């Protein structure tokens, strides 16, 4: 790969920092790099390859000479500044939800649909974290037996809501253990020792009773898999885990797949690690996935209520494969 001029937008955030770490760990070829953030981050520095690099304030002219920009600064920022970057000849890999369902913007998971990258017109969307880890597992099974229906329930880590959410979790845990009433600012209810079936926490439910997160999973999965005929439903839940989203997934297929066949297919799938030996209590856990780039799958079993269905448990680091790593993998393909 030839060295590129790179920018990271939202560099001081949780995912932005992970993007920098991932670029460094994967030895991405960089000629120059800009760290960009809002006015609040003016004067800050961040470590990268043994140096402390200054954080610049993001403006509409920040992208002159930049070839690839990784965005993780929220949908509003992406809507405003991604077109500016694209206009200056930069290719944007955007981690927000701003462009995911735009028919002109590829929605890419490199293990699943890398060919879509060629269709970009300056912007490529990084999917939702929960969607990414699920489709990495589902695509090879879909290719073999064609999935017709998916039922997923997620158990999503607090880090997916950012630094303030993690601070709230820690503070609430301390308050509860000290017998105090926990206060809520980020979440609508206490997250310490609790589960909240509402992601994102600030959004109202849609008219169909689903959250935006649930509908993201439904719509993004169909777009990434390239199959609008897949029927899907989702329930997304925030749980008091630091890092690592977990998912209970049930799939129905046209052709019957045994659990053994599914394991064999997934052992050969890129980016997937099969961890499935219940007799030894071996199955994926969030603590296994944290800090790792692979997607882990286990508890693979044949659904006793349906002749052509499988149940499985899928876990991945939401900050890495669910965000920063997937974006850097896209940049590598570019």
| Residue-wise pLDDT tens digits, 291-317 | 999 999 999 999 999 999 999 999 999
Residue 203's pLDDT band (cuts 50, 70, 90): confident
- Over range 140-159, report the average pLDDT: 98
- Domain 4-126+324-333 shares a fold with domain 131-157+195-318: no
131-157+195-318 to CATH, choices 3.30.360.10, 3.40.50.150, 3.30.70.250, 3.20.20.70:
3.30.360.10
Q: Is the pLDDT of residue 129 over 90?
A: yes
Catalytic residue, candidates 90, 120, 129, 288: 129
Residue 197 pLDDT > 80: yes
Task: Taking residues 65-70, report their average pLDDT.
Answer: 98
245 is catalytic: yes
Superfamily of domain covering 4-126+324-333: NAD(P)-binding Rossmann-like Domain (3.40.50.720)
Write down the catalytic residue from 120, 142, 245, 288: 245
Banded pLDDT at 22 (limits 50, 70, 90): very high
Q: What are the two backbone dihedrals, phi and then psi, of residue 117, each rounded to the nearest 5 degrees?
A: -55, -35
User: What is the tens place of the pLDDT at every residue in 236-260?
Assistant: 999 999 999 999 999 999 999 999 9
Average pLDDT, the chain: 96
Is 84 one of the catalytic residues? no
Q: Can you give the residue ranges of every domain in the chain?
A: 4-126+324-333, 131-157+195-318, 162-194
């Amino acid at each position: 790969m030839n060295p590129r001029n790179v920018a990271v937008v939202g560099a001081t955030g949780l995912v932005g920092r992970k993007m920098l770490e991932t670029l460094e760990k994967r030895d991405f070829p960089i000629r120059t790099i800009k760290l960009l953030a809002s006015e609040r981050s003016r004067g800050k520095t961040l470590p990268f390859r043994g140096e402390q690099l200054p954080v610049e304030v993001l403006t509409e002219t920040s992208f002159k000479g930049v070839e690839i920009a990784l965005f993780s600064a929220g949908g509003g920022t992406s809507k405003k500044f991604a077109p500016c970057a694209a206009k200056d000849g930069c290719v944007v890999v955007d981690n927000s939800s701003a462009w995911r369902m735009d028919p002109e913007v590829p929605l890419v998971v490199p293990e699943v649909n890398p060919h879509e990258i060629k269709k970009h017109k300056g912007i490529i969307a990084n999917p939702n974290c929960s969607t990414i880890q699920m489709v990495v597992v589902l695509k090879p099974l879909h290719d073999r037996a064609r999935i017709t229906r998916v039922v997923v329930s997620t158990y999503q880590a607090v880090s997916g809501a950012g630094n303030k959410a993690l601070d709230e979790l820690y503070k609430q845990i301390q308050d509860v253990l000290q017998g105090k009433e926990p206060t809520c600012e980020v979440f609508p209810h206490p997250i310490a020792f609790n589960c909240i079936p509402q992601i994102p926490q600030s959004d109202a439910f849609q008219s169909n009773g689903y959250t935006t997160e649930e509908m993201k999973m439904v719509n993004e999965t169909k777009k990434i898999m390239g199959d609008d005929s897949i029927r899907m439903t989702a329930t997304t839940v925030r749980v008091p885990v630091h890092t690592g989203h977990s998912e209970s997934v049930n799939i129905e297929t046209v052709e019957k797949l045994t659990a053994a066949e599914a394991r064999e297919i997934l052992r050969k799938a890129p980016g997937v690690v099969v961890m499935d030996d219940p007799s030894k209590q071996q199955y994926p856990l969030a603590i296994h996935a944290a800090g790792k780039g692979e997607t882990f799958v286990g508890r693979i079993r044949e659904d006793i209520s349906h002749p052509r269905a499988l149940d499985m448990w899928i876990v991945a680091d939401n900050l890495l494969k669910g965000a920063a790593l997937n974006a850097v993998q896209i940049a590598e393909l570019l």
